[in-house]
C-alpha cells in the first residue's frame, strides 16, 4: 500500500515538503525534541581514558594517548604514518606545506567544499583556484579537471604556470564530500599526467573506502578532522596521514613549533606551529576509534532506511555512495530534481527544522563567498551549482539507527 505522504508528493512544493517531513518521521519517529544533524556519542572507554590523563597529569601535547592514537589511525587506515594535530584545518595547512605550496601559488580545490579547504590555502598566502565536481561522487570531476588543466597550464622554467594569472599551480586538493569517496584513481592519474601533487581533504571520510582502500591514502598526504560532529571525535582535532616517513617526520617537527630535539634547550630551526593534539583529546580519540566499525555500520543502516523511505517520493532521491566504494555516509543527503530551485529547497529546510529535524543545505560555493570572489575559477561550475541548489542533509548520528526519536 502506498503511504499517504507519497500520494501527496506530486502536488507542488508544499506537498513535497510535507512528503519529506513524513518520510523522515517514518525513519526517526516523531521528534519531541530537536534532533541535531550529527552529535557525538561517548559510550565506550572515553571516561576511563580521559580520567587516566587527569590522574597521571599527562593532559597536554605529550603523552601515551597521543602516540597510541597516531599508531591506531595509521593501522586503521593503512597509512604508513599519522600525526595528530589540533584540528582539520591545521592538518590541511601542514599537508599543503609538506608538498611545497608557497605564498602566491595557486592550489586547485573544489568550489563545493567546506570553507576550511580554501582557508588552509589562504593561510599560506596561496590562492585557491576553484573547479567543478561530478555528480556520481560530489568530488572533483577528474575528466573535466584533466581537460581544464591541459588548457590553463603552461610550463615555464620547469614549473606549471596558470597562463592567465601567471602564478604557479602547486597542488590539487580533492575532498570526499559528506564521506563519499571522490574519483581518486582517476584523479591520481590526472595529477600524475600534469605533474601536480595530490593532497586529500579527507576530513569527512574516515571509515570510507574505494576499492577496499581507505580514503586518505591515495594522495601524497591527507588531512583528517575529529571535530565534534565527525564520525570519530576528539572534541577538536585532526591528523596528517602519509606513507612517506620523511614527510611524517617533518609534519611532526612543524607541528611542535619546529623545536630541535634537546633535553632543555629551546632551539627552533624554522617557523613552526603550535599544532600538536593534547593528550586529553587523543584519549577521547582512542576510545572513539575502538567503535568506528560500529559507527560506520549504523550510519550505513540509517542511510538504507532513508533510501527506503524516499524511494517512492517524487521529485527527489537519496544520494547513494559512488560505484566501487563503501561510504561512511557521514551526512546522509537527498537531492531534489535538477529543475528545482532554491525556494523549494528552503521550503523543505524550513519545514524539517520546524518539525525538530535539523537539516541544512550544502555549503555556499566557495567562489560565491566574499573573500574569494576574485579567486581564479573554472567557468563551468554547473554541477556544483546544481548541488548547492538541490541538496539537503538529514540527521545522521549513528544512534538514530538504534533508537526512535
| Structural domain boundaries, residue 28 | 4-42+292-401
DSSP designation for 236:
S
Cell numbers given for 331: 551526512
pLDDT of residue 398: 97
pLDDT of residue 8: 38
pLDDT of residue 152: 98
pLDDT of residue 276: 97
How far apart are alpha carbons 219 and 244 in whole angstroms? 11
CATH code for the domain in which residue 254 is found: 3.40.640.10
Are 154 and 296 part of one and the same domain? no
pLDDT of residue 50: 97
Are 8 and 81 part of one and the same domain? no
Domain closes at, from 273, 289, 305: 289
Domain closes at, from 254, 269, 289: 289
Are 285 and 309 part of one and the same domain? no
How far apart are alpha carbons 222 and 83 in whole angstroms? 10
Are 141 and 185 part of one and the same domain? yes
Are 174 and 114 part of one and the same domain? yes
Are 200 and 89 part of one and the same domain? yes
- The strand pairing partners of 83, in sequence order, are 240
Q: Consecutive 10-residue runs of the chain (405 residues): their mean pLDDT? A: 40 84 96 96 97 93 94 98 98 98 97 98 98 95 98 96 98 98 98 98 98 97 97 97 98 96 93 97 98 98 96 92 96 94 94 98 98 98 97 97 69
pLDDT of residue 339: 87
Are 86 and 212 part of one and the same domain? yes
How far apart are alpha carbons 67 and 168 in whole angstroms? 37
Are 313 and 278 part of one and the same domain? no
E strands, 56-102, in order: 81-85
pLDDT of residue 188: 98
Are 225 and 245 part of one and the same domain? yes
Cell numbers given for 378: 573554472
Nearest residue to 94 via CA among 278, 259, 250: 250
Q: Which residues contact 202 (CB under 8 A, 6 or more apart)?
A: 176, 215, 216, 222, 223, 224, 241
Are 32 and 85 part of one and the same domain? no
Are 148 and 21 part of one and the same domain? no
pLDDT of residue 61: 83
Give whole-number Cα distances, 215 to 95, 174, 200, 328, in Å: 15, 11, 8, 10
CATH code for the domain in which residue 308 is found: 3.90.1150.10
Domain closes at, from 261, 289, 317: 289
**Overall domain count for the chain:** 2
Are 23 and 124 part of one and the same domain? no
Cell numbers given for 32: 519531541
Amino acid at each position: 500500500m502506498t503511504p499517504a505522504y507519497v500520494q501527496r508528493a506530486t502536488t507542488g512544493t508544499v506537498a513535497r515538503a510535507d512528503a519529506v517531513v513524513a518520510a523522515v518521521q517514518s525513519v526517526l519517529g516523531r521528534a519531541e525534541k530537536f534532533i541535531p544533524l550529527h552529535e557525538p556519542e561517548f559510550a565506550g572507554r572515553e571516561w576511563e581514558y580521559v580520567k587516566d590523563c587527569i590522574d597521571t597529569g599527562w593532559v597536554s601535547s605529550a603523552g601515551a594517548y597521543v602516540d597510541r592514537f597516531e599508531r591506531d589511525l595509521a593501522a586503521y587506515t593503512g597509512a604508513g604514518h599519522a600525526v595528530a594535530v589540533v584540528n582539520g584545518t591545521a592538518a590541511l595547512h601542514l599537508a599543503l606545506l609538506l608538498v611545497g605550496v608557497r605564498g602566491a601559488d595557486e592550489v586547485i580545490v573544489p568550489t563545493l567544499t567546506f570553507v576550511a579547504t580554501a582557508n588552509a590555502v589562504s593561510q599560506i598566502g596561496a590562492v585557491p583556484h576553484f573547479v567543478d565536481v561530478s555528480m556520481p561522487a560530489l568530488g572533483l570531476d577528474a575528466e573535466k579537471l584533466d581537460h581544464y588543466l591541459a588548457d590553463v597550464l603552461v610550463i615555464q622554467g620547469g614549473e606549471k604556470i596558470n597562463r592567465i594569472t601567471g602564478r604557479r599551480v602547486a597542488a590539487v586538493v580533492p575532498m570526499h564530500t559528506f564521506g563519499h569517496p571522490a574519483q581518486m584513481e582517476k584523479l591520481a592519474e590526472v595529477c600524475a599526467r600534469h605533474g601536480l601533487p595530490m593532497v586529500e581533504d579527507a576530513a569527512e571520510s574516515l571509515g570510507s573506502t574505494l576499492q577496499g582502500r581507505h580514503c586518505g591514502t591515495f594522495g601524497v598526504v591527507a588531512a583528517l578532522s575529529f571535530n565534534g560532529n565527525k564520525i570519530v571525535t576528539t572534541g577538536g582535532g585532526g591528523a596528517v596521514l602519509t606513507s612517506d616517513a620523511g614527510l611524517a617526520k617533518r609534519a611532526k617537527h612543524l607541528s611542535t613549533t619546529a623545536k630541535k630535539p634537546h633535553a632543555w634547550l629551546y632551539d627552533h630551526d624554522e617557523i613552526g606551529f603550535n599544532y600538536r593534539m593534547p593528550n586529553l583529546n587523543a584519549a577521547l580519540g582512542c576510545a572513539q576509534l575502538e567503535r568506528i566499525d560500529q559507527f560506520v555500520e549504523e550510519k550505513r543502516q540509517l542511510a538504507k532506511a532513508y533510501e527506503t523511505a524516499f524511494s517512492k517520493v517524487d521529485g527527489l532521491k537519496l544520494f547513494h555512495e559512488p560505484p566501487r566504494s563503501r561510504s561512511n555516509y557521514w551526512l546522509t543527503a537527498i537531492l531534489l530534481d535538477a529543475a528545482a530551485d532554491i525556494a523549494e529547497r528552503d521550503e523543505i529546510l524550513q519545514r524539517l527544522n520546524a518539525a525538530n529535524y535539523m537539516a541544512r543545505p550544502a555549503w555556499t560555493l566557495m567562489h560565491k563567498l566574499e573573500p574569494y570572489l576574485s579567486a581564479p575559477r573554472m567557468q563551468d561550475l554547473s554541477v556544483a551549482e546544481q548541488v548547492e541548489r538541490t541538496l539537503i542533509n538529514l540527521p545522521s548520528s549513528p544512534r538514530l539507527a538504534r533508537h526512535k526519536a
